Each structure stands twice: as structure tokens, then as C-alpha cells.
Amino acid sequence: MYRLVTHFGGGSWALTPEEEQQYIEKIRLLLTIGHTMLKKGYTALDTVQKIVELMEDSGYYNCGKGSITNYNGVVEMDAGIMCGKTLRGGAVATVRTIKNPIKLARLVMDKTHHRLLACEGADEFGKKKGLETVSDSYFVRYQPVETSYFGKAPHETVGAIALDKYGDLAVASSTGGIDDKLKGRIGGVPQLGLELYANNKTCAVACTGIGEPFMRLVTAYDISAQMQYGGKSLEEAVKNIFKEKVEGGLIAMDKDGNIVKECNAPEMLYGYIKEDGSPFAEMYKTPLKN
């Protein structure tokens, strides 16, 4: 059995019906690519990396080419990847010149004894390893504005989770960060266990939204810990987290391939491969509270 689930950001997308359908079609295509990889025997780790790379290249999401800027008008990108089999992971923060931060995160995982590189050191390491670099003009620049959080940025952090036919889970995420961030701000994505986590014994989790509450709750690891040490199901563990004050959404998959999504932002764009192998995607709209 192999499964795949992705999210493309939680917030207020404010798309027209036509634009929403265009995004859904793009997601279906990405899911089909990922499903084909898993079917051919690619690992979950390679699959989630590839899906996130494609998101970074598209310019449609808040990662890679489409990253939002900080208040100084500069793109600073974060990314992380983790293997549920080995519990090894790699991450980068405040990257400015590497075209695909998720590739750099994978190199940190595979080619160093570190887990997180940041700032100029991360960019220099990527260049040394031959990763493609780009100029500042490459990025689609979404400028910050001073309004309430939801509704400012066109989209948020992206993520992908896969379970491969070998029984291994993996997760990858990439982001340009929140749109009211100061220079040098590092969110939860590159700090493994906070907004992303994978453990073959339990689950894999990828969050999207305001990072600081997810960081305070050590959200992704907490969900896994509730399952491993508290005997909770994935659905129970996720619901417990959302009883706390988090702003955004998440996707999660347990070791048996069961998928859970949760969101308290106005909208979250996500998709997954159904049991029959077909891609499903939608703009989930959070029910309004009375």
C-alpha cells in the first residue's frame, strides 16, 4: 500500500471559482506525479521531496519562486524534510539564493552531521554542493501589508506526506514564512518536530499557518507522542492539538495510511490520492462558528 497527501496552505485565499478550479487542477497533476513515483517504487522520502520541489518552482505557492518577502522586501525561505524510518531529517532557514530550498534541506540530511543550517552558511553550503542559485529578481514578490493575519498573504506553507510500499513515512515542507515577519525570523518548518515530523511507529504531520503557536506546542511531535505513549488515534491526537490556540491547519497520515486534515483558518487547499488511485483536491472551507 502507498498513500500521498499534500497541502498548499491555510489562510484566506480569496480566489474566484475559476481560479480555485485552476489550482485544484494543478494539485491533481502534482498528486498524479507523486502517485506514479510511489507506484514505480520510489521511496516516500524521494516522492515528498519531488512534490515540494515542483511547488517551489511553480510560483503559485508561498515557497521557492512564490515566496512572500519580509518587511525589508527580501525573500528568506525555510524548508524541512524528515524520514519516518530513521528519524533523520534536514532543514534550512532564511535561505536567499538557492532555487530549491527543499533540495538543500535534503543535502543537510544526507551530507552533513547537522540537522539545520541557516543564513549565509546555508546558501554557501548549497552552492558548494552544486545546487542551482538564482538572483533576487527570480522570485515572485508578495509584499507584506499591515492588516490582520488571515487575508494578507495569498497562500501559506506547503507540505507533502507519503507512505511508500516499503512501509516508510516521510514528510517535506517549504515556505517563504509569514508575511509580517522581521528580517531573520525563523518559523516552525525548519525546526523538526514543531511543524513537521515523521515516525514509522506513529504518523507523519505537516502544518501550515502562523508558526509561533505550532512552535509553542511542539505540535507535530506532540501528535506522534500522543499516539506512541498515550494510545491515541491520529484523529484524537489532532483534535487535542486544535483545542489549543493554533491558527492554521495541518495534514497527517498514520503508519497504516489513514489520513486526517484539520483547519481553523478560513480555507485550506489540500489533496490526496484516493484508495482507487485517483487524485482528489479541494479548497476546504472551515465552517463558520455561531
Query: How far is 80 from 190, CA to CA, in rounded Å?
Result: 5
68 DSSP 8-state letter: B
The predicted model gives 80-109 an average pLDDT of 98
The predicted model gives 92-118 an average pLDDT of 98
Sorting pLDDT into bands at 50, 70 and 90, what band is 132? very high
Catalytic residue among 157, 175, 202, 219: 157
Sorting pLDDT into bands at 50, 70 and 90, what band is 14? confident
First vs last Cα of the chain: how many Å apart?
Answer: 41
- 12 or 191, greater pLDDT: 191
Query: How far is 222 from 214, CA to CA, in rounded Å?
Result: 10
pLDDT at 178: 85
Q: What is the largest CA-CA distance in the chain?
A: 55
Whether 47 is catalytic is no
Query: How far is 216 from 2, CA to CA, in rounded Å?
Result: 32
Q: Is residue 38 a contact partner of residue 2, using CB atoms and an 8 Å limit? A: yes
